[in-house]
């Protein structure tokens, strides 16, 4: 399961670069000057960098969650498949940001607001699926070791709620200022929002985890 998941993440990260338009693809016999061409890619690069770190953030969360599982069941596999679907479609969402990305802090056009809102909706869905995976696996320690601390379970779940909530809130913000919505994603990606959480209890260090799934000698959970 790790091999398939990491493969999808790697493909999505690599395919992001393919969405950048080369000067030879512009259909003009005369290439534009390099400064003008790079300036025209400003919003494209912003969307590329944002999406790269969004996918990398999901990979980090996915790896952190799955490293705690010691067995799996059919529902876990299905949920993980739907989560990977969100990851695989992210490069397409980036093309929307390339085409309709914001150029300032104003409300922008309706297409710009919709592009940001669609992106945020899909990523919020991915976060919700990942949260569902964690809650399914840790309920009554169904798929995790019985010794996994409750503090770890609750704190990890809380961080997933922060990720989902950030994208949900950005949907509303997108209709007032699409660029501000993107900045909110930056806050989430680089962990600034995590600084608000120590008062609620700092997450304990991760427990020892198996190298691969399934970790239990008797295979999948029934």
Is residue 137 within 8 A of residue 144, CB to CB? The reply is yes
Is residue 107, in this structure, part of any structural domain at all?
yes
Q: What is the number of residues in the chain?
A: 222
Is residue 219, in this structure, part of any structural domain at all?
no
Answer yes or no: is pLDDT of 166 > 50: yes
pLDDT at 97: 76
Show the domain range for 54: 2-19+43-195
Is residue 201, in this structure, part of any structural domain at all?
no
Is residue 209, in this structure, part of any structural domain at all?
no
Is residue 169, in this structure, part of any structural domain at all?
yes
pLDDT (tens digit per residue) in 97-121: 777 766 655 566 788 888 889 989 9
pLDDT above 70 coverage of the chain, percent = 71
pLDDT band at 26 (very low <50, low <70, confident <90, very high): low
Is residue 128, in this structure, part of any structural domain at all?
yes
The total number of structural domains in the chain stands at: 1
Considering all CA atoms of the chain, what is the largest pairwise distance in Å, rounded to the nearest integer? Answer: 66
Distance, in Å, from the CA atom of 56 to the CA atom of 4, rounded to the nearest integer, reads 16
Distances from the Cα of 64 to the Cα of 2, 41, 108, 189, angstroms: 12, 34, 37, 15
pLDDT band at 129 (very low <50, low <70, confident <90, very high): very high
Answer yes or no: is pLDDT of 147 > 80: yes
Is residue 38, in this structure, part of any structural domain at all?
no
pLDDT at 102: 67
Is residue 171, in this structure, part of any structural domain at all?
yes
| Alpha helix positions (H), the chain | 2-18, 34-40, 42-66, 74-100, 110-138, 150-174, 178-189
């Amino acid at each position: 399961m790790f091999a398939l998941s990491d493969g999808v993440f790697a493909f999505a990260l690599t395919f992001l670069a393919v969405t950048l338009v080369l000067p030879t693809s512009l259909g003009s016999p005369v290439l534009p000057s390099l400064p003008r061409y790079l300036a025209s890619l400003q919003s494209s690069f912003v969307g590329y960098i944002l999406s790269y770190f969004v996918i990398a953030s999901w990979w980090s969360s996915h790896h952190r969650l799955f490293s705690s599982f010691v067995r799996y069941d059919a529902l876990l596999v299905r949920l993980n498949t739907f989560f990977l679907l969100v990851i695989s479609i992210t490069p397409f969402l980036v093309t929307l940001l390339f085409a309709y990305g914001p150029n300032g802090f104003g409300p922008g056009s309706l297409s710009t607001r919709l592009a940001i809102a669609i992106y945020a909706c899909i990523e919020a869905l991915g976060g919700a699926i990942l949260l569902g995976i964690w809650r399914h696996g840790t309920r009554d320690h169904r798929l995790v070791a019985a010794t996994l601390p409750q503090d770890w379970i609750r704190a990890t779940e809380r961080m997933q709620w922060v990720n989902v909530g950030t994208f949900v809130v950005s949907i509303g913000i997108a209709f007032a200022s699409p660029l501000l919505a993107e900045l909110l994603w930056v806050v989430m990606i680089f962990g600034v929002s995590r600084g608000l959480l120590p008062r609620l209890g700092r997450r304990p260090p991760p427990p020892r985890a198996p190298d691969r799934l399934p970790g239990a000698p008797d295979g999948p959970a029934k």
